[in-house]
Amino acid sequence: MENKNTVSIPLVDILSEMLNERVVMSGDDYVVFSTLKKIEKSKIDEALIIKAEKERVLSVPTQITKRQAALYLESISLYDDLLVLLESNRLTKIEWDCAANIFRSSPLINSLGQAFNLTPIQIDNMFVKASTL
């Protein structure tokens, strides 16, 4: 299960959404289609930040195999911690043992995130990296 979810969102789409106006390119400038008014650099910078975050979120795999998860946790020295957690929490152990795939939105991942003090962004990054194994 390889991650092929790399996403690229056109900046004109982000600007159009932000400004609630259709934005197009005119030469090297971004302009409001109806008025041809040039978009300010500060708005473009703000849109670039939003674009990067949206692309990051959309590029996170929705699932990985249990094998990928285990290999990745081992590579970052968390696999032993996972085993301890599984022995101490019966429901988490059942979720892990019975799963063929690990879904990003699963209660198992929420439990692991809380147990290991991981932020949602850290978990997203783990899914991206694990999907390559």
- 3-state secondary structure string across the chain: CCCCCCCCCCHHHHHHHHHCCCEEEECCEEEECCCCCECCHHHHHHHHHHHHHHHHHHCCCCEEEHHHHHHHHHHCCCHHHHHHHHHHCHHHHHHHHHCCEEECCCHHHHHHHHHCCCCHHHHHHHHHHHCCC
Q: What are the structure tokens assigned to 92, written together?
A: 């988490």
In this predicted structure, the answer to whether residue 29 has a pLDDT above a threshold of 70 is yes
Count the Cβ atoms, other than its own, within 10 Å of residue 125.
Answer: 14
pLDDT at position 5 is 60
> How much is the pTM?
0.66
CB-CB contact of 133 with 68 (8 Å): yes
In this predicted structure, the answer to whether residue 39 has a pLDDT above a threshold of 90 is yes
Mean pLDDT of 79-89: 91
pLDDT at position 59 is 81
Report residue 1's pLDDT band, with 50, 70 and 90 as the boundaries.
very low
